[in-house]
Amino acid sequence: MSRAPRFLAILLALLCGALSAHAAQDAALERGAAITDPATLRELDAGKFRLDRMLVSERSADIPLANTELFALPSMAAVRQAIDGEFDRYIARHHASHSKETIGVGEGFDFQLFDRTLLYSAETRFVLAGIVNRMDRAYAAEASCGEVRLIYRLTWINKAAGDEASPPRLPMTLNLVLKARGDGAAIACSEIATRWLGEAPSASDGPLDLIDYQNIDRIETNLQITHAPKSSVRDFRTDYLLKVFRYDRQARAFVESPMENQIDRARLLADDGLKREFRAWLLDPVNLVAFDRGTVLIPEKFLASGAIAPTPVGSDPSDLEPEFGLVQGEGAVFSEADVVTALRKAPESGAKLQNIRSLAGFERRLNDVTCSGCHQTRGIGGFHFPGVDWMADKPSNTTVVPASPHFFGDQVRRRDILAALRDGKPPDYSRGFASRPQLRGSTELAGTNYYDGWGAHCYVRGKPAANNDTSFRDWTCAEGLTCQAAGKISRIGMCFVKSR
């Protein structure tokens, strides 16, 4: 299922040059829901939002902790142990499934492994790369009015002399997830939303005044664990390791935890009883509606505590997307009949589905509600928010634009929810598929690469019209563009100029 070279070249152009051309529009889209200004982030990183000051509330030293000291903190011990364990298991799986291809640190290997010594080094630290409002997730954390995320990027702080050729940033982000409203805080969600939608969220009376270490809920990490350049036996491939660590306030430590909606495919397929239980749970009309709207919260007993997200998707036949092996096929959790029957019966119970209207729609939603599936969708090299590198003298293309098309395409929905919270109205937390954002009655995204403009994801319509998939037939392109599929089998493609 590898992508054609032409399609990959166009995709890379989209993620780099085309995104830079939309910088002014992106700044408008992120207003009120994110802080991405380099000067502001530099100032905040020098203050209370420096990572070591957030994790060690009493720390007031001017010099930030390097990672060798950060991971020596008692609260971070389990984080290091879990990441090391994932590396060991990844290497063991590689030897078992790719025995003819070498793996190790450095360019001399077929699979170039991330150098773990840099993660725990005195030469690196995590630098604040952005702050993102996620009050649109209040459905998952109603008491805390949703979340605010401090996103940090692993960065060199002391490079060897003459090593100017190496970029200052390393391929890892650490996301410190905070409660938008701390425990016991006497402030309404409407007031917090009002502050975020103000002219200057970073001002002294803005929403950041409400945040400190007591708001910490968890850490999420995304690390490029290996990169395999294109060779005679494979296309290029990059794997990303995703992990979550919840903060245990009694133990004052971060603890490895299940990842939200990251289905443990291997465990389900190995346990018939658990498989039947999961199938019955997800196809229950109440849960099916939440699943359709993107607000489902799958019970932890069905979830994994780590995930590998390969890029590009399908770059290796042995690394299947989460939905493969779950829908159809021998031993699968869901059969086609299971899904078709559930979709047919849903309206009979009063359920109104917005996105899933077919088996293919069910499969796509099954993938994009997962952490790994979402990170594979319209990202920048496996990340949705790399952030602008305010420490670099000459930022690279991928750090001139702070976030991915998926991030910017979702801003209309996020601001709509913020406005509803501000005005005391019931928010609509639903979302479309990750590849195709909801317009919410707005025309702001019309004609852009985020929705139906050049490079947007679309559906190749066939004839007769009755054969068109009802989950995607509205994924059209703006006037003058046509939908071109990535391969001969898939009918999901991208909008490009019509050939003459």
Sequence ranges of the domains in the chain: 33-259+379-428, 261-303+317-369
Pairwise pLDDT comparison (97 vs 299), residue with the higher score? 299
- How far is the C-alpha of 32 from the C-alpha of 264, rounded, in Å? 36
pLDDT in tens, 444-499: 999 999 999 999 999 999 888 888 999 999 999 999 999 998 766 678 999 999 87
- pLDDT at residue 57 greater than cutoff 50: yes
What is the helix (H) or strand (E) element at residue 27, kind and residue range? helix 23-29
- How far is the C-alpha of 361 from the C-alpha of 436, rounded, in Å? 12
User: In DSSP terms, which residues pair with 149 in a beta bridge?
Assistant: 132, 177
Length of the chain counted residue by residue: 500
Closest CA relative to residue 207, chosen from 49, 407, 368, 25: 49
- Number of Cβ within 10 Å of residue 295's Cβ equals 17
15-24, 90-99, 132-141: which range is least confident on average? 15-24
Torsion of CA 235, 241, 242, 244, to 10 degrees: 180
Closest CA relative to residue 410, chosen from 442, 364, 453: 442
pLDDT of residue 306: 95
- How far is the C-alpha of 45 from the C-alpha of 36, rounded, in Å? 12
pLDDT of residue 160: 56
pLDDT of residue 387: 86
Closest CA relative to residue 308, chosen from 403, 219, 434, 224: 224
275 Cβ neighbours under 8 A, 6+ residues apart: 268, 269, 333
Q: Which amino acid is at 349?
A: S
Pairwise pLDDT comparison (19 vs 328), residue with the higher score? 328
Mean pLDDT score of the chain: 86
pLDDT of residue 330: 67
Residue 39 is encoded by which pair of tokens?
């000067």
Q: How far is CA 113 from the centre of its chain?
A: 22
